């Protein structure tokens, strides 16, 4: 048997290393801590069903990534006495709204936990490891328990002699700080874009544009520092290519909201919302990757894990993009060609945002390979 679940999360603060917290609820039968889960309805996308469970059981809403974080297994006792093994696919949900009242409010308790606290609170070992793997600090222990460190990831480790020499080199220029600052603008822009597609509030358009301007200031400072710095932590081409790929993501976010503003779009297809949810999660992974670049040799396995997920997201987004365009053409193409053209342009910008995150993943992989 297979179920779906949501992992509701939020970031505490705006710093690049801000802690992540997840929301757990109590089960109705035993009162133990669990994540919102249930059985998917026939014909309903799994991530949509997970979002419904999160709203009904935990009273939270937000963009849910259509690509599952992973899965865990538990044994469920049925009313007829049978004890069956259940596999549960878990979808990350970035909480943007906590409801004051919700369907199962009187039947469950909800509480925010740190990743370590949540991992300790749940009973299922697989779910505990999955929660730990959601943050960088606990990834290595979870990965070792689950055998997630692939041969490729192991090979990415810098030779100990080179790593020792690298630590002796003077680190001039604040490149890492600028990478991290730029990642913060991407996360903020992605969150604002997702909120715009969810509620149509035009204030989110201005926020994305302001974030893009902030990113422009950072990339200008980055390029100036590259020119003036004698010794850089990575090859100059790698630095400019990585920050350029990141900047492409926020640039396309701005292009998307400007198109929405120009054509006065007020309602959005579910496929657009799904792509925005992927963008939110891709931005989160990018932000997590940036501090890890300070020590590529030590953090190579985690960087590989993050980039592999980014690449999978891009592939999944392509499928959503194609399905959304097909549906828009069937519904609008014959009778409303202008409406279809607007939909096609919005999908194009959303696809380019996700493509930019894949480029970020490729640039990070290149840095890891060059320093292995």
For residue 79, pLDDT beyond 90: no
For residue 366, pLDDT beyond 80: yes
State residue 83 phi and psi, 5-degree precision: -120, 110
Least confident of 130-139, 144-153, 233-242: 144-153
Pairing of strands 37-38, 20-26: unpaired
* 315: number of Cβ within 10 Å: 11
Mean pLDDT (whole number) for 85-108: 94
State residue 89 phi and psi, 5-degree precision: -85, 130
* Type and span of the H or E element at 233: none
Specify whether the CB–CB gap between 191 and 94 falls below 8 A. yes
pLDDT value of residue 80? 61
As a whole number of angstroms, the distance between CA 318 and CA 275 comes to 9
Pairing of strands 33-34, 37-38: unpaired
Q: What pLDDT, in 10s, does the model give residues 2-52?
A: 899 999 999 887 777 788 999 999 998 889 999 999 999 888 999 999 999
Q: Global pTM?
A: 0.83
* 331: number of Cβ within 10 Å: 14
Q: What pLDDT, in 10s, does the model give residues 190-247?
A: 999 999 999 999 999 999 999 999 999 999 999 999 988 878 888 999 999 999 999 9
Specify whether the CB–CB gap between 364 and 242 falls below 8 A. yes
pLDDT value of residue 155? 34
As a whole number of angstroms, the distance between CA 132 and CA 69 comes to 12
119-122: long-range contacts at Cβ-Cβ below 8 A with a sequence spacing of 24 or more? 121/24, 121/33, 122/24, 122/32, 122/33, 122/34, 122/35
């Amino acid at each position: 048997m297979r179920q779906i679940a949501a992992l509701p999360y939020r970031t505490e603060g705006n710093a690049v290393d801000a802690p992540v917290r997840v929301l757990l609820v109590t089960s109705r039968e035993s009162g133990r801590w669990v994540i919102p889960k249930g059985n998917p309805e026939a014909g309903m996308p799994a991530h949509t069903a997970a979002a419904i469970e999160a709203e009904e059981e935990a009273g939270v809403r937000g963009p849910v990534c259509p690509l599952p974080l992973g899965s865990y297994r538990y044994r469920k006792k049925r009313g007829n006495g049978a004890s069956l093994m259940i596999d549960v696919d878990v979808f990350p949900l970035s909480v943007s709204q906590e409801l004051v009242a919700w369907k199962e409010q009187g039947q469950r308790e909800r509480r925010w936990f740190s990743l370590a606290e949540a991992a300790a609170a749940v009973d299922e070992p697989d779910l505990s490891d999955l929660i730990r793997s959601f943050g960088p600090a606990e990834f290595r222990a979870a990965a070792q328990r689950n055998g997630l460190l692939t041969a490729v990831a192991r090979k990415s480790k810098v030779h100990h002699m080179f790593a020792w020499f690298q630590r002796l080199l003077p680190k001039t220029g604040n490149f890492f700080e600028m990478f991290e600052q730029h990642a913060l603008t991407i996360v903020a822009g992605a969150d604002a874009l997702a909120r715009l597609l969810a509620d149509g509030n035009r204030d989110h358009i201005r926020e994305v544009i302001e974030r893009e301007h902030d990113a422009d200031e950072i990339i200008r400072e980055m390029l100036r520092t590259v020119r003036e710095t004698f010794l850089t932590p990575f090859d100059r081409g790698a630095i400019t290519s990585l920050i350029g790929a990141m900047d492409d993501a926020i640039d396309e976010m701005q292009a998307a909201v400007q198109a929405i503003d120009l054509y006065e779009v007020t309602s959005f297809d579910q496929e657009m919302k799904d792509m925005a949810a992927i963008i939110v999660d891709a931005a989160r992974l990018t932000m997590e990757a940036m501090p890890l670049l300070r020590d590529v040799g030590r953090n190579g396995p985690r960087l590989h894990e993050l980039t592999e997920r980014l690449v999978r997201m891009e592939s999944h987004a392509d499928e959503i993009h194609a399905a959304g365009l097909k549906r828009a053409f069937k519904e609008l193409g014959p009778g409303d060609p202008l409406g279809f053209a607007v939909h096609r342009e919005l999908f194009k910008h959303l696809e380019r945002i996700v493509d930019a995150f894949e480029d970020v993943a490729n640039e990070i992989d290149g840095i890891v390979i060059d320093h292995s």
